Each structure stands twice: as structure tokens, then as C-alpha cells.
């Protein structure tokens, strides 16, 4: 396997594949999965020995579980290594500020600080070592290569440059691949209209951001009478929210811009988060297992579910030595398959991407509801105005599910019939898929705020009720 003999791996920053070659590392990407798994096992053993030697955090955790790196003789054995939770990381940093006792390199080796952007509680700081930063760049260059990005292409990065790791790893990857990076950012007042100007002026081949923000850019362009296809963008790649794997949203973005959509991304803690990335095969996100080892697990047992089944991903860094995550619990929800990808890569596939959270999922009258399922139905309706909200409330002991959905017209009074059949169709489809009856309220276009970053569509008023009750 290319340059994979030593751990931590070191790559040649000058290496570039031939532009006609579809793979960055042909052998690693297309090898027999069983041989790859054998190599991954050896790598896991190295990472665990390294973590045990450098991180009191893992020493404590594994000692308490009665496990040592030597016990891991198979990938099945590895399933017994206890998972790491975000809460544990937060606690470790509070006790050993600022990076926690899972920092495995001297503080002088840390070249970058980023962190979680949570607005409540102590945020978690990421301390990224110098060598890790190069490996992050290498990994992101690899997956961007898999999307068809090549040296010299212009890559417009339309996402916030702050704590958010999405922007930074994309920038590092774009630089490594010898693309022309245009780190424009997002989130500042008035910036979207300027983004439209710059896209027209610079005509980048590729755009990175969140799906909501790409749609926002398209909307602002159209308001100004500009067809987003004029930008000439061929590759639109996304992370940060599940939208890019939802067929209706993907179609809407591809129709608006005239380019191809690629979904990617796992968690900021797992940077290079691009280890989950779609390729030109377009069969879903691939799990680039030789960058980060993904196990889709039963949320209860934390053991792998078979291919074809749904579960929550658990991630293990195979190439990072500053704050290596070993079996980090994501809390996300996905389904994986062993189906080969038309691109020739032999990685497991997530055909529907990451489509929910174990904890996002809410229950209405005993039925499990995933917001992504509602998003999918609603945004596929002809006449959909671009945004919606899901409001869950409780009247006495009865749950009430209301979907407030924008119609494309800005004045509903003049379109009585169209609106009522739109409402009825939404109601029917939601009931058929969710199994519970749903109220649908149609509102005019542009009722809801558009977001530059993640859009929070679920308003669960029952939680508020519980919180107030708890305070009394």
C-alpha cells in the first residue's frame, strides 16, 4: 500500500498522480477489501500502542475495560474496545486544559487550534499537530481527486472560516492538490450577494459549502436575474449537513447550477472528515477505510451491524497522531453496503449518506420520525417554495406534528386551488411514509429565514415544556 508501511505515515508533498488517472493511490483505493482489512488491523494495533504510550486518557479508559492493545488480534476483537463519547473529551479538556490528556504530541508540535462551535457548555478545542495537518491535506486531496478535482482548477470555498473544520480541511486539500483555492468564506452580512459577483467574475470549476448555502446563493443570484449556470461550476461538494445526499435537494442544486453534487463529511473531531466522500461513481458516500476506519454499529451494543443494515458510525483515526480518536461514537445514523462502486474503489458505501441522528429522531404517537424523511418528501413536491419547518407539540397527552411548508408563490390568496391540492398531496405523502397523520400549513415563499450554515428545521415544543417543568 502506498507509503503505508510506517506509522504515523509521512507523504511526499510533491507527489501528484497523472491527471488522467482516476485514483490518487490506485492500490489502496481499489484493493481487495479483505487484504485492506488485514492492513487496517495492523494499523489499528499501531495506533492503539501509540495511544497507550502517549495518552493517559486511553490508558485509563482501556485499563478500566480490562483491554490492552495486545488483545486486539482481529477486527472483531476491536469491536470490544469501549467507544469514546464527546462528553468524555469535554471532561478531559476541563480537567487537563486546553487540549485534554488525549493530546499525544508535545504542545510545541500543535500548529493549529480549532474547536467545536457549540453555544452551550464548554466547547472542545482541537489541537492539530504539524505533521497531522499535512496528512489532513493529503487525505482531502485524495478524496477531492476522487470527485474529479484536478491541479489548476479553481475551488471556491463558500463556508465560514472560523472554528468550523469544513472550510479549513477543504482549503488544505485544495492547496495540496495544486488547485487554485479561493477561500471566500460565508456568514458575514451582505456576503452572499458579493459571492454571486465573485462567482461570475472568477468562474470556478468547483464549489464547496453547505447544501443550504448553495441553494441560498442560487436564490440570491436568481433574485438578481442571474442564472447560476452562468458561473460554470462543474463540481459542487458539500459537508456540514445531510442535504447533499437527499435526492430532492441534490436535484435542486444540480438543476440550479448545472454541475454534479458530491456529498462528504463525518465529524470535525475526525478531520480529515472527508474520509466519508462521494466519488464520480455516485453510489453514495464511500468509507475511505484506510484514512479513517468506519464501523457502522448497533447503537446499543456498539458492535458492527451487517452490510445492508442501519446503524450509527463509530470512527477510528488511522493517520493522525496529535489527538487520535479511537472508536469515537458519532450518534449519527446511516446504512452501509459492501456494493462495489462504479468508480472502481472497493470501499463500503453509504448509499443514502448520513441521514439522521440517533438523538434527532423524535417520536410522535409512538412512531420514530426522522426529519430527513420529511425533508425528502416536502422538497420533492412540485410547488415547494424552498424552506419548511417541522413543529412537534403536545396537547394534553396527544402529540401533534405540523409541517409548515413554503409554496413558491409569494401571494397565496390568488392561487386557492393550486395551494389546496399542494397541501393535500403533502399530507398524503407524509402520512404514507411516516405512518402518522400530519397537519400541513402552507405559507408564502420566503416566510422562513435562509441560513448561511446549518438550517434548524425541527422545533420540538415538547422539550421546552419538559425543561420548564423540570425547573419547577
Provide, rounded to whole angstroms, the least separation between the CB of residue 7 and its own copies.
23
Candidates 63-71, 194-202, 240-248, 261-269: pick the segment binding its own copies (CB under 8 A): 194-202
- The answer to the question of residue 17 lying near its own copies (CB under 8 A) is no
Residue number, 190 or 306, with CB nearest to its own copies = 190
The set of cell numbers assigned to 411 is 401571494
Residue number, 210 or 279, with CB nearest to its own copies = 210
Provide, rounded to whole angstroms, the least separation between the CB of residue 32 and its own copies.
37
Among 10, 38, 63, 113, binds its own copies (CB under 8 A): 113
Please list the alpha-helical segments (H only) found in 17-129: 26-30, 33-54, 56-65, 75-78, 86-95
- The answer to the question of residue 431 lying near its own copies (CB under 8 A) is no
Query: Exposure string (b/e) for 456-470, b if CB count within 10 Å is 16 or more?
Result: ebeebeeeeeeeeee
Q: In what helix (H) or strand (E) does residue 424 lie, and over which residues does it extend?
A: helix 416-434
Place of cell 453509504: 350
Which candidate, 94, 1, 4, places its Cα nearest to that of 43?
4
Residue number, 45 or 180, with CB nearest to its own copies = 180
Among 189, 300, 382, 469, binds its own copies (CB under 8 A): 189
Sequence length of the chain is 472
DSSP string over 90-144: HHHHHHSTTT-TT--S-GGGEEEEEE---SSSPPPEEEEEHHHHHHHHHHHHHHH
- The answer to the question of residue 191 lying near its own copies (CB under 8 A) is yes
| For residue 98, cis peptide bond before it (omega within 30 degrees of 0) | yes
Candidates 72-80, 177-185, 274-282, 424-432: pick the segment binding its own copies (CB under 8 A): 177-185
Asked whether 288 and 276 are in contact (CB, 8 A), the reply is yes
What burial class does residue 186 get, using C-beta atoms within 10 Å of its C-beta: 0-12 exposed, 13-18 middle, 19+ buried? buried
Cα 22 to Cα 148: distance, rounded to the nearest angstrom: 8
Among 71, 175, 298, 310, binds its own copies (CB under 8 A): 175
**For strand 285-287 and strand 349-350, is the pairing parallel, antiparallel, or unpaired?**
antiparallel
Asked whether 378 and 406 are in contact (CB, 8 A), the reply is no
Provide, rounded to whole angstroms, the least separation between the CB of residue 189 and its own copies.
8
- The answer to the question of residue 7 lying near its own copies (CB under 8 A) is no
Please list the alpha-helical segments (H only) found in 366-409: 371-379
Q: Coil, strand, or helix at residue 144? A: helix
- The answer to the question of residue 122 lying near its own copies (CB under 8 A) is yes
- The answer to the question of residue 151 lying near its own copies (CB under 8 A) is yes
Provide, rounded to whole angstroms, the least separation between the CB of residue 22 and its own copies.
21
Residue number, 197 or 255, with CB nearest to its own copies = 197
Residue number, 144 or 291, with CB nearest to its own copies = 144
- The answer to the question of residue 451 lying near its own copies (CB under 8 A) is no
Show contacts with its own copies in window 340-399 (CB under 8 A). none
Whole-number Cα distances in Å, 458 to 145, 352, 371, 405: 35, 20, 7, 12
- The answer to the question of residue 233 lying near its own copies (CB under 8 A) is no
Provide, rounded to whole angstroms, the least separation between the CB of residue 359 and its own copies.
23
Among 35, 63, 188, 441, binds its own copies (CB under 8 A): 188
Provide, rounded to whole angstroms, the least separation between the CB of residue 17 and its own copies.
16
Q: Could you list the residues that contact its own copies (CB under 8 A)?
A: 97-98, 107-108, 110-115, 117, 119, 122-123, 125, 127, 130, 151-152, 154, 160-163, 168, 175, 178-185, 187-191, 194, 197-198, 201-203
Amino acid at each position: 500500500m502506498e507509503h503505508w508501511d510506517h506509522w504515523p505515515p509521512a507523504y511526499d508533498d510533491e507527489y501528484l498522480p497523472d491527471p488522467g488517472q482516476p485514483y490518487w493511490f490506485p492500490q489502496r483505493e481499489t484493493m481487495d477489501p479483505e487484504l485492506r482489512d488485514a492492513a487496517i488491523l495492523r494499523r489499528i494495533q499501531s495506533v492503539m500502542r501509540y495511544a497507550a504510550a502517549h495518552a493517559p486518557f486511553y490508558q485509563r479508559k482501556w485499563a478500566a475495560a480490562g483491554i490492552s492493545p495486545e488483545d486486539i488480534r482481529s477486527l472483531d476483537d476491536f469491536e470490544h474496545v469501549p467507544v469514546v463519547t464527546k462528553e468524555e473529551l469535554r471532561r478531559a479538556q476541563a480537567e487537563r486544559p486546553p487540549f485534554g490528556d488525549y493530546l499525544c504530541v508535545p504542545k510545541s508540535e500543535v500548529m493549529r487550534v480549532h474547536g467545536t462551535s457549540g453555544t452551550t457548555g464548554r466547547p472542545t478545542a482541537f489541537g492539530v499537530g504539524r505533521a497531522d495537518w499535512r496528512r489532513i491535506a493529503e487525505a482531502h486531496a485524495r478524496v477531492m481527486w476522487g470527485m474529479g478535482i484536478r491541479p489548476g482548477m479553481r475551488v471556491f470555498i463558500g463556508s465560514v472560516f472560523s472554528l468550523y473544520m469544513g472550510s479549513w480541511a477543504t482549503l488544505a486539500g485544495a492547496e495540496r492538490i495544486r488547485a487554485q483555492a479561493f477561500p471566500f468564506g460565508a456568514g458575514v452580512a451582505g456576503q452572499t450577494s458579493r459571492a454571486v459577483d465573485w462567482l461570475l467574475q472568477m468562474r470556478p470549476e468547483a464549489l464547496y459549502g453547505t447544501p443550504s448555502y448553495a441553494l441560498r446563493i442560487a436564490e440570491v443570484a436568481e433574485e438578481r436575474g442571474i442564472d447560476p449556470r452562468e458561473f460554470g461550476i462543474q463540481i459542487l461538494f458539500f459537508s456540514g449537513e445531510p442535504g447533499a445526499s437527499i435526492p430532492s435537494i441534490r436535484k435542486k442544486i444540480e438543476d440550479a447550477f448545472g454541475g454534479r453534487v458530491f456529498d462528504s463529511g463525518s465529524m470535525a473531531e475526525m478531520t480529515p472528515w472527508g474520509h466519508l466522500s462521494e466519488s464520480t461513481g455516485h453510489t453514495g458516500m464511500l468509507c475511505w477505510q484506510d484514512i479513517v476506519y468506519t464501523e457502522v454499529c448497533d447503537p446499543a451494543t456498539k458492535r458492527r451491524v451487517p452490510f445492508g443494515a442501519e446503524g450509527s458510525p463509530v470512527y477510528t483515526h488511522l493517520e493522525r497522531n496529535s489527538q487520535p480518536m479511537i472508536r469515537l461514537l458519532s450518534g449519527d445514523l446511516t446504512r452501509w453496503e459492501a456494493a462495489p462502486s462504479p468508480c472502481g474503489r472497493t470501499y463500503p458505501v453509504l448509499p443514502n449518506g448520513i441521514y439522521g441522528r440517533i438523538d434527532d429522531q423524535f417520536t410522535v404517537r409512538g412512531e420514530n420520525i426522522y426529519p430527513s424523511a420529511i425533508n425528502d418528501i416536502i422538497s420533492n413536491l412540485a410547488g415547494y417554495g424552498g424552506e419548511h419547518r417541522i413543529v412537534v407539540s403536545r396537547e394534553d397527552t396527544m402529540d401533534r406534528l405540523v409541517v409548515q411548508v413554503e409554496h413558491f408563490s409569494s401571494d397565496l390568496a390568488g392561487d386557492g386551488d393550486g395551494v389546496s391540492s399542494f397541501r393535500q398531496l403533502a399530507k398524503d405523502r407524509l402520512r404514507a411514509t411516516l405512518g402518522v397523520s400530519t397537519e400541513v400549513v402552507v405559507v408564502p415563499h420566503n416566510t422562513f429565514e435562509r441560513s448561511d450554515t446549518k438550517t434548524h428545521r425541527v422545533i420540538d415544543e415538547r422539550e421546552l415544556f419538559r425543561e420548564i417543568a423540570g425547573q419547577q
